[in-house]
């Protein structure tokens, strides 16, 4: 990725998970970095996990390719590599503090409203394990450049 600038940003993530007629909403607010290549419509969001997420000590990198694909890589005590691609299903490695497993991710929607100073990313996808439905998920990520950077 050809990076134009690395900016410090505030990141607000709201994740909604629906399974077995129950809805679980989690929110995470953190700080991280935002990089972009405007010409190629590619963005990179990087942040450190906190104890709230259960992945403390891990670093997450989200590579966003317009409204087509988002790749999530988590490095640290629990490794994960997820491919969220509109209209496709990918089998991906998902690590947790309790063990690792393969998940299927089928993506319904990706909406990118990112620009030079941040913006918004929306993802909607389903997760299955061994072809058994686990959950329907929505994630909204708001990114805002920190003033003075």
CA distance 114 to 142: 9
Q: Which tens digits make up the pLDDT trace of 117-137?
A: 899 999 999 999 988 999 999
Q: Which tens digits make up the pLDDT trace of 71-98?
A: 999 998 888 999 999 999 999 988 887 8
CA distance 52 to 68: 29
Question: At residue 113, does pLDDT exceed 70?
Answer: yes
pLDDT value at residue 1: 45
pLDDT value at residue 123: 97
* Burial class of residue 12 in the structure, from the number of CB atoms within 10 Å of its CB (0-12 exposed, 13-18 middle, 19+ buried): middle
Domains and CATH numbers, the chain: 6-145 (2.40.128.20)
% the chain with pLDDT above 70: 93
CA distance 123 to 139: 5
Residue 31 CA, distance from chain mean position: 14
CA distance 139 to 105: 14
């Amino acid at each position: 990725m050809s990076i134009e600038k690395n900016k410090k940003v505030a990141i607000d993530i709201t994740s909604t998970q629906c399974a077995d007629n129950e809805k679980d909403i989690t929110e995470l607010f953190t700080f991280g970095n935002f990089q972009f290549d405007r010409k190629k419509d590619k963005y990179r969001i990087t942040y450190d996990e906190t104890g709230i997420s259960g992945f403390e000590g891990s670093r997450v990198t989200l590579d966003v390719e317009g409204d087509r694909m988002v790749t999530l890589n988590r490095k640290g005590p629990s490794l994960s590599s997820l491919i969220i691609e509109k209209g496709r299903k990918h089998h991906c490695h998902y690590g947790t503090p309790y063990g690792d497993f393969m998940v299927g991710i089928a993506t319904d929607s990706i909406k990118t409203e990112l620009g030079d100073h941040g913006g918004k990313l929306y993802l909607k996808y389903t997760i299955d394990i061994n072809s058994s439905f686990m959950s329907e998920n929505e994630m909204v990520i708001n990114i805002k450049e920190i003033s003075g950077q």
